[in-house]
A and B are shown apart, each in its own frame.
Chain A
Amino acid sequence: MTIKYSALDWKLILAATLLTLIGVVLIMSAQHNASTEYQQNYYQRQLIWFAIAFFIFAVIVHIPPKLFDLLAYVIYGFSILLLILVLFVGTAKMGALRWFSFGSINFAPSDLAKVALLFALSRFLAYTKLPVASKRRLALTSFMVAVPVLLILKQPDLGTSLVFLVVLFVLWFWSGLSPFYLLLIVSPIISLITASHWLAWAIYFVLLLIFLFTIRPGLLFGVITVITNLAFGAVMPFLWNHLADYQKLRILTFLDPGRDPRGAGYQIIQSKIAIGSGGIFGKGLLNGSQTRLDFLPEPHTDFIFSVLGEEFGLFGALILLFLFGVIFYRAIRIAMHCRSKFSSLLVMGAAGIIMFQFIVNIGMALGFMPVTGLPLPFVSYGGTSLVLFWALIGFMVAAEARWQEY
């Protein structure tokens, strides 16, 4: 099973490598003034993780995607098992049960579950004979997502749960479902958000009815949409009471960052100050006062983009956006190029995971989105997350290298 090196997507590999190295530099800067030597050496650990991630990437590149296709459901089942296990023997960190601890190494089974779900959904959607918008197809795929999501919500981890939903939506879309359908499917969520004010919800509901009349998706679908929207609009207060305190706080802080200057809103304000004060060319490496003087919370993970914005300015931020742009562009090219439907879906799903975390993380740093604690792919500190993203790149490169295989 040899592959030609010339067949590898070097642009993609280079973009991911540069992003990882930029991350190492930013982690070094972010923790330069940290109080412990351990924290100061985060960047060295990240380099080691990069080596591990790259090795795993190289292994994946050498594995034909067909193998993942065959083992997809097995891997899915195994990851579900791990998710159940972590609830019992996992290590709590910041109020969330997410980790298996092996000595000093922490492993988050939710990261493996992302890949496993990606395999399982890709396999199902690649081979199913069910029509695109059929109820059974939608219901079965939803169920496949619901199992890990419910397990992760129990941990609890809102951000990661959302990643799973994103994978589902991206794969529905890439397997041919019209975005109008997607809009109708997310409509209950919009109901949920607008339900905080009855008038907002009423206006939204009227708009939804007009939309349904215009596109006429079929009687049953229309009725289900109306009922779910009504339910979510009414159920909202009940659900609200079942959110964890920190989740409530995150949503509230997002809606009004000024309400708790030392809580999560404080983080957003400080992040905006950091990015804004960077200006066009930034303050220079190690000169970011927001970063260096602890004004930025978690500058090496959640707010690594703010470090970039402060120390390298608009210029640095645009370079980072460009590198992500390369990854997304190459992913779509590969997904269009390869003949295997499984590979195509796998690549788009992988791109969707990267895209979602990219949007949420940078959106958070810029103050567009609530603080979810999702790391910036390739750049943020974190071993398993780095391994995951390099594995996703591995699927892309492997798919491209064998684009002609079915």
Chain B
Amino acid sequence: MSQFKLSIDNREKLSYIFIVLIFLTLIIGLFKLQILEHAGLAKQSENNRIRVESIIPRRGIVTDRNGQIIIDNRPSYTVSVVPAEIVKGKTIENLSELIALDTNLIRKRIRRNMVSRYQPSPVKRDISFEIVAILEEQYKKFPGVVYQMERVRQYNRQLGAETYTGYVGEVSENELKKIADAELHLGSIIGKKGIEKKYDAILRGREGTKYIEITASGQLVGEYADKNKIPAEPGSNLVLSIDNDLQIASTQAFDTFCCGAIVAMDPRNGEILAMASFPGYDANIFSSVIPESLWNEIRDDSTHPLLNRPLKGLYPPGSTVKFVGVGAGLEEGLITENTKYKPCIGGYQFGNRFFGCWKESGHGSLNAAHTLEQSCDTYMYQLGLKLGVDKLSEYYRECGFGIKTDVDLPQEASGLNPNTTYYDKRYGKRKWSIGLVLNNSIGQGELLVTPLQLARFFCGLANNGIVYKPHIVKKIQYFDKTETIIEPEIAFTLPFSKNTLKILYEGLSLVVDGKHGTAKKLKNEYYSIGGKTGTSENPHGENHSWFAAVAPLEDPEIVVVAIVENSGHGSEIAAPLVGKIIKSYMAKKLGIPLDEVDADVAQSGDSL
């Protein structure tokens, strides 16, 4: 077995060979990692420690025309869970108890909002300060639970302004697909309705980027100094044409009623001064995570608080649109200012059907202006028949009915302005009676308008026929202090000559000033006011009560339109309501204490 005995010299040689082989292997290993694979591994090491985080910019503040706050931001705490640090039987269970949220729901939210296992996954927004204090003190009870401060939208609840403010919320997956904005990602807050939606990109600003050093366990070390962070660009502020005082006055005036809408505009430029939908809702609840029960309650409310009535509420305008028929008659040469039709005997016999006037005792013979003053239906029936369905419809269209106003707010309805084509489609060719025009002429039937469309029309009447596009944003103030002022835009001109407009305007003033005016109780010694009442029949219940007003008559600067659903006659409900709003505006303008202005409610029921 001598071949298995090794001489001492051979042992030494073998030892050296072995050591050299080992060292060569190790050096090759080092060379491979540190030279050949260096670039790739260096990048991996960089990614290992640097987390790119967005800096969420401050969302723009929204004020009224006088700089009063409408939408602001307030600090709020969001509680999140780092999935990698969850301790079974402890983290989620203890948190569930603390924030009163079901454990399964917490797990669902963690999974839904998870970016990575080492990044906090938001569970509940807007937790109370008491909860923050508990998390701070008893952190050992809540392993993996963190909280972060965020800015949350705060809406001035006193204003009842949600019809134009809208609200914000987390971007949905659908929205992510639809909106082409590279900056949006899951968890981004975007505008969902109102100006928050329409001006979202401007209000949101631009996200910045910061580089955060983290440890393997996801623990924050601090900001990474070697890379320059890209600061966030704060969102731009918006100045609205809204007057908060008028807005509050409008909301308060409506207080006792259930449902309806108010629009106040400046006829000289189309600025919306106040606008409200009733009943409203608290836009603030959408800023935090809205509980499903509350959401269902709002959604299923039979009064539809989420319906944006000024823009989307479709109502028959009633007598408020009689100006269009009278104007059309004058323009078409069918009547002059002195033309009188068959006297009103409390209605009109058309074929075998009797169309009643609101005043059963009848108005007798009236001219154009007095027809408007007393809102005689009989006159309008006869005029409507002369005009015909399509001519009347054409004038309605040229006055802006059935057409979107293009106000700078999302989700507007266009209304409905029926003509022959429409009726043929709906009832079949020649299967409908020409008598439908009778309804249309007094603002009933299929004709449907939005309160904003009606306000726009009255702005035209108050502004010599020139109609401005309604708008709500007056000014954009960028973060660098530059400004863009939104210039008023003429939308169209009413299809009426100067003379026609003068006659219509006279009618408008007679409604308050005239002996038989349907809103004569609004007459007062401080300022002049004109308008038109409307009572639209509602097959489902009480009539809708309308009033549209213009003030002051000699140089109109405000138009207010109000509808109170299912409440009764225009003269009884809407007229005094609008009277209060105008009173508030004029009192402020003239510098007179409110209670001195004697422009109180018209209480008599003998007018419409």
A residues neighboring B (CB under 8 Å): 33, 131-133, 173-174, 176-181, 215, 217-218, 270, 272-280, 289-290, 293-295, 309-310, 313-314, 317-318, 321, 325, 328-329, 332, 336, 348, 355, 359, 362-363, 366-368
Contacts and interface: CB of A to CB of B under 8 A. Distances in A.
A317 B30 contact: yes
Interface of B: 1, 3-6, 8, 11-12, 14-16, 19, 22-23, 25-27, 29-31, 33-35, 37-38, 40-42, 44-46, 48-49, 213-217, 219, 221
Given A366-B26, A368-B29, A276 B215 contact: no
Nearest to A289: B49
Contacts of B42: 276-277, 279
A28 B19 CA distance: 30
A373 to B, nearest CB: 19
Nearest to B1: A133
B30 A275 contact: yes
Nearest to B16: A332
A155 B466 CA distance: 97
* Of listed B5, B16, B27, B34, residue having the most chain A CB within 10 A: B34
Contacts of B45: 273-274, 276-277, 289-290, 295, 310
A295 B16 CA distance: 37
Nearest to A216: B3
B6 A273 contact: no
A314 B34 contact: yes
Contact of A279 (B22, B34, B46, B215): B34
Contact of A309 (B8, B27, B30, B219): B30
Contacts of A132: 1, 4-5
Contact of A294 (B8, B29, B34, B215): B215
Nearest 10 CB-CB pairings of A with B: A276-B41, A277-B45, A276-B33, A366-B29, A178-B4, A294-B215, A277-B42, A295-B216, A294-B216, A289-B49
Contacts of A174: 11
Contacts of B48: 270, 273, 289-290, 293, 295
Contacts of A278: 34
Given A179-B14, A366-B30, A336 B8 contact: yes
B405 to A, nearest CB: 58
Contacts of A280: 34-35, 38
Contact of A332 (B15, B22, B29, B34): B15
A133 B219 CA distance: 59
B5 A178 contact: yes
7 contacts: A218-B1, A275-B33, A295-B45, A309-B34, A336-B12, A355-B22, A359-B22
A277 B23 contact: no
Contacts of B219: 294
A217 B4 contact: yes
Given A276-B40, A280-B35, A295-B49, 12 more contacts: A132-B4, A133-B1, A178-B5, A217-B1, A273-B48, A289-B49, A290-B45, A294-B216, A314-B35, A336-B12, A363-B29, A366-B30
A72 B49 CA distance: 52
Given A290-B48, A332-B12, A177 B216 contact: no
Contacts of B31: 314
A176 B5 contact: yes
A273 B41 contact: yes
A304 B217 CA distance: 20
A286 to B, nearest CB: 13
B44 A277 contact: yes
A131 B27 CA distance: 39
B485 to A, nearest CB: 51
A290 B46 CA distance: 9
Contact of A177 (B4, B25, B40, B217): B4
Nearest to A332: B15
